[in-house]
Copies of this chain bind each other. A is one copy, B any other.
Amino acid sequence: MKKLMNSPETLVADGLDGLSAAHSNIVVMAPGRKYLRRREPSRAKVALISGGGSGHEPLHVGFVGRGMLDAACPGQIFSSPTPDQIVEAAQDLAGEAGALFIVKNYAGDRMNFEMAAEIATCRNETLLVDDDVSEEETSRGVGRRGVAGTMIVEKMLGAAAEAGADLATCLRLGAKVKLRTRSIGVALSYCTLPGESQRSFALGPDEMELGVGIHGEPGRRKVPFANADAIAEQLVDTIVGDLANPKSGEALLLINGFGGSPLIELYGMYNAARRSLEGRGVRVVRSLVGNFVTSLDMVGCSITVCLLDEELARLWDSPVHTAALRW
């Protein structure tokens, strides 16, 4: 499969070099491309550090900057960063307030962040994100996956840390955001890995994958292809059924493209999901539509709902200045 790259081996390095050069007013790449950090870090606050496999851009490297992450550790495509990357980022960026590791719930990421947490001499805590309702909690023992809700956690905690919240407050707030945030995705075609000649899994012309993961892994089940309204209804139904108290009123609705779906389709899905939510009494008061937590060129999208209260809305609205999110 043709890709814009020099080779599968250099794609991540070239992409990271491009990103850090294009946004050199916001970020700096550490030697050896171990982590991308803010150009002007503040070691007086809690340092928010995330990371994970590449191929999900702009997550996480595009979210480094004022009001969001302090550093992101990129792995190879769909592979966890190594513990030494995480340790070095933490030692560099954490002051007395310590570091908070924001980790998507996958076995590899958990293991490497756990090792880093033990090795790092700075004070640190870890927040696991597991917003994907597609996977049954007991199915593989690892629990639910962290998907697009991760960017909401990073945005809200970023705002809190910027405003001076301490490590305990960030953890409490993270637990609150997690409790109120759920995601589920659908794929019409899987992604193609660099160097591979075809898409990683096959889907028939009248099939879609419900509950697909962000690594091209199969989801809950293959179902007959349906129109936008029917897909949105099904995804929203799953999300709302899983939220403790969805009738609490107001929500942030995120339609996240996986990388291969045109923006006009994502806005059409937003329209459908919003109507479905409002039909259930959930009022959409904040919105985000675009490709944020991607899976290379996978065709499809996920829906994320985060139930807001005054505190969370304020954190969402707080200024942010990163490569991929700015207001």
Contacts and interface: CB of A to CB of B under 8 A. Distances in A.
Contact of A300 (B4, B12, B259): B4
A55 B23 contact: no
B2 A267 contact: no
A12 B291 CA distance: 19
A4 B301 contact: yes
Nearest to A10: B268
A143 to B, nearest CB: 28
Interface string A1-17: 01111110001101111
A293 to B, nearest CB: 11
B263 A291 contact: yes
Contacts of A225: 2
Identify whether the interface residues of A are mostly helix, strand, loop, or mixed.
Answer: mixed
Contact of A262 (B14, B261, B297): B297
A70 B271 CA distance: 23
A268 B4 contact: yes
- The copy count of this chain in the complex is 2
A265 B4 contact: yes
Q: How large is the interface on A (under 10, 10 to 19, 20 to 34, 35 or more residues)?
A: 35 or more
Contacts of A300: 4
Nearest to A4: B265
Contacts of A11: 264-265, 268
Kindly name the residue among A189, A228, A261, A266 whose own CB sees the greatest number of chain B CB atoms within 10 A.
A228
A87 to B, nearest CB: 25
A299 interface: yes
A269 B260 CA distance: 18
Contacts of A259: 262-263
Nearest to A289: B22
Contact of A291 (B6, B229, B231, B291): B291
Contacts of A189: 2
Contact of A18 (B16, B19, B62, B274): B274
13 contacts: A2-B206, A2-B225, A3-B188, A4-B188, A4-B228, A4-B231, A11-B265, A22-B267, A22-B274, A23-B287, A262-B296, A262-B297, A263-B291
Interface of A: 2-7, 11-12, 14-19, 21-23, 54-55, 57-58, 62, 188-189, 205-206, 208, 225, 227-229, 231, 259-272, 274, 287-289, 291, 294, 296-297, 299-301, 326-327
Given A3-B261, A260-B297, 12 more contacts: A4-B188, A4-B269, A6-B229, A12-B264, A15-B265, A18-B268, A18-B270, A19-B289, A22-B267, A23-B287, A55-B262, A57-B264
